[in-house]
Amino acid sequence: MAKTALITINAEGAEKRFPPAEQAFLRSLAQNADWLIAADGGALLYLKSGLLPHLVVGDLDSLSARVANRLKKAGVDIWRFPPEKDDSDLQLALEAAQVRGAKNILIYGGVSRQFPLRPDHLLINLNLLLWAQSRGLNAKWLLDSKTSLFAAGEETVIEGERGDTVSLIPLSEKVEAITLEGFAYPLKNEDLLRESSRGLSNQLADSRGIIRKGSGRLLAVHIKI
């Protein structure tokens, strides 16, 4: 069975306003994960939820020395990198998950309706979904319990509820031969262009939608009702 890694990332101040419902959601994700990994300050989300990560990766600029020492004393493995590094904390966490043999990766946090993230970090994280896909990893970024982003494959199934919003955003110049089944606005073997907004705000027509595509890189955004 394919192994799953859960990686938490943290926007500034997010853990201070981390609602109980989101804490419960994170715990539910952790129950089905083989490894709990934190990208730097993402460790605070685990602690706030009553969990301990197996590994913390990053330059630790978002963790106080007190919290870092608490994690070490609890047996958490910490990989500390210098601030002048080439890769972001999330990329280092993704690489750590890959080294451990994870094929399924859930990234939680970083930005949501409550917690803003710097726009440059947001865009880089979207590119890291493509980085993961190009290495054969099945990665999904869960901003919160309602919103997820992922790079669509040749065939992608979305499970949800009728009325859920699904937007398709081409990240390459063109995504070819897109077919949508189970959507309010279906497509059949049509192309989406990067400079067009045509893929915005589709909806599930039932509890299950299928995206099929040819060549090109396609980002899917699923927002639950």
Q: Is the pLDDT of residue 11 over 80?
A: no
pLDDT for position 176: 98
Helices 89-99 and 119-134: angle between axes, nearest 10 degrees: 20
pLDDT for position 116: 66
> What is the H or E stretch that residue 48 is in?
helix 43-48
pLDDT for position 17: 81
127 C-beta neighbours (distance < 10 Å), count? 14
- Domains of the chain, with CATH numbers? 3-146 (3.40.50.10240), 155-223 (2.60.120.320)
pLDDT for position 1: 80
Q: What is the pLDDT of residues 102-138, one digit of tens each?
A: 999 999 998 765 666 778 888 899 999 999 999 999 9
Q: Residue 81, SS3?
A: coil
Identify whether the C-beta of residue 184 lies closer than 8 Å to the C-beta of residue 156.
no
